[in-house]
Amino acid sequence: MEGQIGIYFVDGFPCFRKADRAPSLNRSIAGRGPPGKIADMPDTLGYARVSTDDQDLAGQVLRLKAAGAARTYEDVISGRTFVRPGLKALLDYARAGDTLCVVRLDRLGRSLRELLEVVETLKAQQIALVSLEEKIDTTSAAGELVFHVFGAIAQFERRLIAERTRDGVAAARAAGRHPGRPKLDQEKLRAALTLIRNGMSPTKAARHVGLGRSTLYRELALIAGALPGAA
């Protein structure tokens, strides 16, 4: 389709597909910019994501363009780190009234939590969501209910996490355990300080007495800060 633009990222590195016109990231936004400047018409922005184990990127892009996507943003993620620069670029470009279109909802996240985070961002930015396979379209009056359902699910999950945390803390205390950072063994700290005063490095001293290296360095910083004349 004439004028369609494809922007994709491979493990975080941006690339551009050939297009009928040079991609421009400049957009006029309603309520912003010079007075009297007319805002662009709302866009449908496609988003596709694959990993090296699922090379169906071309198929997703074709379906997004057939659905009317003026631009497509794509991520190819092969590592364990789930960084999505393509999705970020789409959200940075989009403005209120635009529509994000995906082939399936799982393209927006690998877990329910990741999906809900994206949906909440879309709602906050007043960006509609269309998922082709699930036949979700929040641009319609009925489809807008989907945002409210997702919001309720997100709130429900946050409450579950909070309740599980409280239950876990209560169970640990009932069993005589005290959640949180364990108390510092003062005997080990004094022994480590003695070794350091006698020329041993903090790293070796920590290993020798059985203290964590970061714990010992943190205590040394606190001691240094408490000395007279310390800034």
Instruction: Kindly list the catalytic residues.
Output: 51
Backbone φ/ψ region at 218: left (φ over 0), alpha (ψ -120 to 50), beta: alpha
**CB 74 within 8 Å of CB 47:** yes
**CB 25 within 8 Å of CB 38:** no
- φ, ψ of residue 81 to 5 degrees: the values are -70, 125
Cα 85 from Cα 42, distance rounded (Å): 22
Cα 44 from Cα 42, distance rounded (Å): 7
- Write the DSSP assignment of 20-77 as a string of letters: SS--------TT-SSTTPPPPPP-EEEEEEE-TT---HHHHHHHHHHTT-SEEEEEE-
- Write the DSSP assignment of 89-145 as a string of letters: HHHHH--TT-EEEESSGGGG-SSHHHHHHHHHHHHHTT-EEEETTTTEETTSTTTHH
Query: Residue 104: what residue type?
Result: R
